[in-house]
Amino acid sequence: MSEKETTTPLERGTRKMDVLMRAFGMRTRIFRGSSRSVVKGTRKIYPYELNATVIETARGVGIRIQLEKLWYTFLKFIPFLILIIISLLSYFVPNIGDNIASATGVNPFKLVLGSEPGFIGLWVVLPILGLIFIGVEILERIIRARYIQDRMPRFLSGAEWEIAEPPIVLDTVSASSNLLWFMYVVMILIFAPLSFSDWVYTKFLEVYKVESSAIFNTTTLISILDIAILSGMLFSILYLNYEKFRGSLDRKQFRYDVMVESQARQMIQIATGTSILATFELILFYFMFWNNITVIQVIIFYVLTVASSVLGTWLFWQKENYIFIALSIWFFLSDVVMIFLNSNNPSYSWMIICHLFLILFIIGISFNRYLEGYLAKKGVYEPSWIFNPFPFFAFVTLFKKKKVRITKSVDKELEEIRDEEMVTRVREREPLTIDANKIKKKGKGADKIIQYYQKILSRIVIGEFSILSITTLNSQILEFLREKKELVPQTKELFTVIDKLLWEDNYKLQNGSKYVKFAEQIYEIVIKMR
Amino acid sequence: MKFSKSIISLFVLTAILSTLTIPIEVVGEETGYTSPTNFFQIGGDTNFTAYAVAPLSWELNKQVNLTLYINVTVLPEGSNMSIISLSYRYNLPIPPYTIHKPTSTPNVMVTEANQQVVDRKTFRAPSDVEEFNITIKIIANSSSHPENQVFEMEFPGDLQYIEVEDTSANPIISLPGFPESRTFWRWILIFFVAMIIMTLPASYVAFVKIQQNLRNRKKKGAKKK
């Protein structure tokens, strides 16, 4: 690569920008012009673009980062909007629902909103939830763009660089948006027969010999348990998939996370994440299906969600598939328990049947994991799409055959860039600079010792000096001290300390003040001589 | 492989045979004690008799059949008699003393004498009692006396009580069947729609993989040629 001497600064800048964006986990495309080029990066599945425009100016290469197609984020509001419209229709023109119900037996409004929805609560909650999800994603994008913008100048100048990710809570919240809709589908399935119109529903009650209120209460209770366990376990899948990806990006964290510590950190983050998700679910479903939920049930819901997420994390560490197996086992065992309970209380009858089909549902969902691997091959890391009830953008993105660069070989390219820079630096014979702050950190008085050393050298040598000649300089200094032989061993000790201060990264200076005094003493001797 | 397959088929066969040989409880049997015949009269011209047939000892948690026979004995020509409703009530020695069972409204109209009306019901013995009896209430009228009249009879009439047998082998598991078809096919439809929507990602991957395989096969075929 070093043979390519003809590359312009613009080309070099573009290439670096491309690599940096890919190091941030983006897929990139490059558009080249004569005086400017644009690097487009896509992080998520749907158009989530970050444009970096690299411009050649008289003073070098300039870069501008822009968020593109921000309005696509607002598409997340569509399901909320649909629900708001349905609730408005159901409030103002309930006849539509009744007419459909008398014809088909299913009232679509009741099916979607629950049999006794709290309309005013829904109209408050739905927009708020939608705006939270949109806001979180926009915030995540802005933070990531700023990180890239901040790091770019240092990266372009060849300085040490590292990448950082936005706070994981943002990822968690955006992950919970898809899970929330998944749980909503499950809730519709569980409560569907209770929302059928009377001429169907009375027969349903007659067959099972239960009262309407009894079956409603039991269904609510079991659905609370189901949703808690499902959302806890599935959340741990999503979170740990994000974590896996982040770990490979955020190398610093990856390196320093000791195994036990990282486990504890993950557990805590998952517990907080699931609590957020549980709150969202509780707020939304309270106005739809869980009208008569009690305080004790709320507590059970929270505790069970967190507990199952922790269990799910543990299962994930063993193998990701175990979570789906565990969920199927839960549905089956709870079915058995309910069959026994049902002998005294026939209100469990419906949930027994429903659980049988939910096992099928879980098995179906578990196949969705293959999409995740498929997306990763295409350079898209977005595990939450496996639980998306409407994966439209996933399909659009996968169908489009664009030539994109993915993060796979980014490490190798990074090394190449570093090697090239080393070669050019040596050729240009730039002055070697050592960071004063780095030396300062090595101990008290370290910077003063180096300052005195510099002063001594400047007295002895006029002009520049190079690394190779430092040893000869040191011997020159020792020659100055020929008359004071008692100082020689101490001076030699000082030289080794200075050497370590300059070149050894992990060196810790001790008795700094002693060496400072001694350096000062030598400096004074040198001043007297010259 | 053959061996294991034969074992599996053996298991299946034994399972099928065992289900066939295990005696299945027949619910519709009609044996038991016949209560004394009660004579009733509507107005002065219409007479009918009623008696019930049911076993005298009922097993707890098992279904028992009770059949009520109503015979119209005297009916003036041109007039008719109709049975409006039949209701059954358990009389227990301990609180809650009475349990009302669902009322049936047969709305049968009898136009000729010597016709028989039969009402078959299945009941379960009340729990927590050793003995009880049943009061049967018949509401009927005739064309000459259109006002409803209430007639009551007891089962088992001349004996005091029906005995409740508490068998030690109570069924612990009660398996509910699927909901009746009206509810069920509607729900299944919703379920499959949800299932298809939620497994779209998986089906997409399957679709792409199959397509790739086909393409690769075509390529291989072209190379061979």
Phi, psi torsion values for A508, nearest 5 degrees: -115, 125
Which residues share a beta bridge with A243? none
State whether A421 and A478 are in the same domain: no
The pLDDT, as a whole number, for residue A91 is 92
Judged against a pLDDT cut of 50, whether residue A241 lies above it is answered with yes
State whether B107 and B216 are in the same domain: no
- Mutation choice for B interface testing from A187, A241, A349 by most B CBs within 10 A: A349
Phi, psi torsion values for A172, nearest 5 degrees: -60, -45
State whether B155 and B203 are in the same domain: no
B170, part of any domain: no
Residue of chain B minimizing CA distance to A375: B205
Please give, rounded to a whole number of angstroms, the shortest distance from the CA of B122 to a CA of chain A: 15
Of A331, A350, A366, which residue is a domain's last? A366
Which residue in this structure is represented by tokens 């409006």?
Answer: B84
Judged against a pLDDT cut of 90, whether residue A308 lies above it is answered with yes
Which amino acid makes up residue A157? S
- How many CB atoms are closer than 10 A to CB A517? 12
A483, part of any domain: yes
A496, part of any domain: yes
Instruction: Specify whether the CB–CB gap between A498 and A471 falls below 8 A.
Output: no
Judged against a pLDDT cut of 80, whether residue A321 lies above it is answered with yes
What's the rounded Cα separation, in Å, for the pair B178 and B164? 31
The pLDDT, as a whole number, for residue A307 is 94
Tokens of A155: 């990266």
Instruction: Specify whether the CB–CB gap between B140 and B119 falls below 8 A.
Output: no
State whether A451 and A353 are in the same domain: no
CB < 8 Å from B in window 386-405 of A: 386, 388-391, 394-395, 398
A385, part of any domain: no
State whether B42 and B124 are in the same domain: yes
Tokens of A417: 């860039």
Judged against a pLDDT cut of 80, whether residue A430 lies above it is answered with no
The pLDDT, as a whole number, for residue A221 is 93
Residue of chain A minimizing CA distance to B181: A204
Q: What is the tally of structural domains in chain B?
A: 2
Q: For position B41, which CATH number holds?
A: 2.60.40.10
Collapse the DSSP code of B98 into the 3-class scheme (helix H, G, I; strand E, B; otherwise coil) and give the result: strand
Strands (E), chain B: 33-34, 38-42, 46-54, 57-59, 63-74, 81-91, 98-100, 108-110, 116-124, 131-142, 149-155, 162-165
Task: Say yes or no: A324 contacts chain B, CB-CB below 8 A.
Answer: no
- Nearest Cα to Cα of residue A241 among A164, A172, A146: A172
B48 or A244, which is more confident?
B48
Q: Which residues contact B207 (CB under 8 A, 6 or more apart)?
A: none
B11, part of any domain: no
Please give, rounded to a whole number of angstroms, the shortest distance from the CA of A352 to a CA of chain B: 8
B23, part of any domain: no
Please give, rounded to a whole number of angstroms, the shortest distance from the CA of A280 to a CA of chain B: 21
The pLDDT, as a whole number, for residue B28 is 44
Q: Which residues contact A360 (CB under 8 A, 6 or more apart)?
A: B195
Judged against a pLDDT cut of 80, whether residue B70 lies above it is answered with yes
State whether A91 and A164 are in the same domain: yes
Which residues share a beta bridge with B59? B165
Contacts with B183 from chain A: Cβ below 8 Å: 193, 196, 200-201, 203-204
Instruction: Specify whether the CB–CB gap between A30 and A38 falls below 8 A.
Output: yes
A185, part of any domain: yes
What's the rounded Cα separation, in Å, for the pair B15 and B8? 11
Phi, psi torsion values for B64, nearest 5 degrees: -125, 140
Judged against a pLDDT cut of 60, whether residue B68 lies above it is answered with yes
A382, part of any domain: no
State whether B119 and B214 are in the same domain: no
- Nearest Cα to Cα of residue A321 among A370, A383, A263, A271: A370
Judged against a pLDDT cut of 60, whether residue A81 lies above it is answered with yes
B43, part of any domain: yes
Tell me the pLDDT band of A259, cut-offs 50, 70 and 90. Answer: low
State whether B49 and B151 are in the same domain: yes
The pLDDT, as a whole number, for residue A160 is 53
Residue in A203, A339, A357 nearest the CB of B175: A339
State whether B215 and B140 are in the same domain: no
State whether A217 and A252 are in the same domain: yes
Residue in B187, B197, B208 nearest the CB of A193: B187
What's the domain range around B132? 33-165
Tens-place pLDDT, residues B205-218: 888 888 888 888 88
Task: Summarize the confidence of residues A335-346 as an average pLDDT.
Answer: 85
State whether A51 and A125 are in the same domain: no
State whether B215 and B155 are in the same domain: no
B25, part of any domain: no
Instruction: Specify whether the CB–CB gap between B56 and B32 falls below 8 A.
Output: yes
Residue in A189, A343, A398 nearest the CB of B194: A189
Residue of chain A minimizing CA distance to B173: A340
Query: Quick one: angle between helices A198-208 and A349-366, nearest 10?
Result: 110
B222 or B186, which is more confident?
B186
Judged against a pLDDT cut of 90, whether residue A470 lies above it is answered with no
- Among the ranges A222-226, A256-260, A313-317, which has the highest mean pLDDT value? A222-226
Tokens of B42: 């509507």
State whether A186 and A292 are in the same domain: yes
What's the rounded Cα separation, in Å, for the pair A374 and A381? 10
State whether B57 and B152 are in the same domain: yes
What integer best gives the mean pLDDT of chain A?
A: 81
Count the alpha carbons within 13 Å of A376 in the hemisphere toward its beta carbon.
12
Tens-place pLDDT, residues A10-49: 887 888 888 888 877 778 888 888 888 888 887 766 556 7
CB spacing of B187 vs A182 below 8 angstroms: no
Of the candidate ranges A105-114, A123-132, B52-61, B82-91, the one whose mean pLDDT is the lowest: B52-61
Instruction: Specify whether the CB–CB gap between B173 and B113 falls below 8 A.
Output: no
Which residue in this structure is represented by tokens 């309005």?
Answer: A71
The pLDDT, as a whole number, for residue A407 is 67
A391, part of any domain: no
Tokens of B68: 């009520």
Task: Say yes or no: A200 contacts chain B, CB-CB below 8 A.
Answer: yes
For the stretch A164-170, contacts whose Cβ atoms lie closer than 8 Å and that sit 24 or more positions apart, written own/partner, are A164/A250, A165/A246, A165/A249, A165/A250, A166/A139, A166/A140, A167/A143, A168/A242, A168/A243, A168/A246, A168/A269, A169/A269, A169/A272, A169/A273, A169/A276, A170/A136, A170/A137, A170/A139, A170/A140, A170/A143
A2, part of any domain: no
B24, part of any domain: no
Q: What is the tally of structural domains in chain A?
A: 3
The pLDDT, as a whole number, for residue A158 is 64
State whether B156 and B197 are in the same domain: no
Task: Summarize the confidence of residues B161-183 as an average pLDDT.
Answer: 72
Judged against a pLDDT cut of 70, whether residue A84 lies above it is answered with yes
State whether B147 and B212 are in the same domain: no
Judged against a pLDDT cut of 80, whether residue A519 lies above it is answered with yes
CB spacing of B190 vs A208 below 8 angstroms: no
What's the rounded Cα separation, in Å, for the pair A7 and A23? 22
Instruction: Specify whether the CB–CB gap between A459 and A527 falls below 8 A.
Output: yes
State whether B84 and B45 are in the same domain: yes
Tens-place pLDDT, residues B189-208: 999 999 988 888 888 888 88
The distance from CA B176 to its chain's CA centroid, rounded to whole angstroms, is 13
Tens-place pLDDT, residues A484-508: 777 788 888 888 888 888 777 778 8
User: DSSP string spanning A298-338?
Assistant: HHHHHHHHHHHHHHHHHHHHH-THHHHHHHHHHHHHHHHHH
Tokens of A512: 């700094």
What's the domain range around A517? 436-529
Please give, rounded to a whole number of angstroms, the shortest distance from the CA of B53 to a CA of chain A: 26
A203 or A417, which is more confident?
A203
State whether B97 and B125 are in the same domain: yes
Residue of chain A minimizing CA distance to B196: A364
State whether A32 and A119 are in the same domain: no
Contacts with A346 from chain B: Cβ below 8 Å: 174, 176
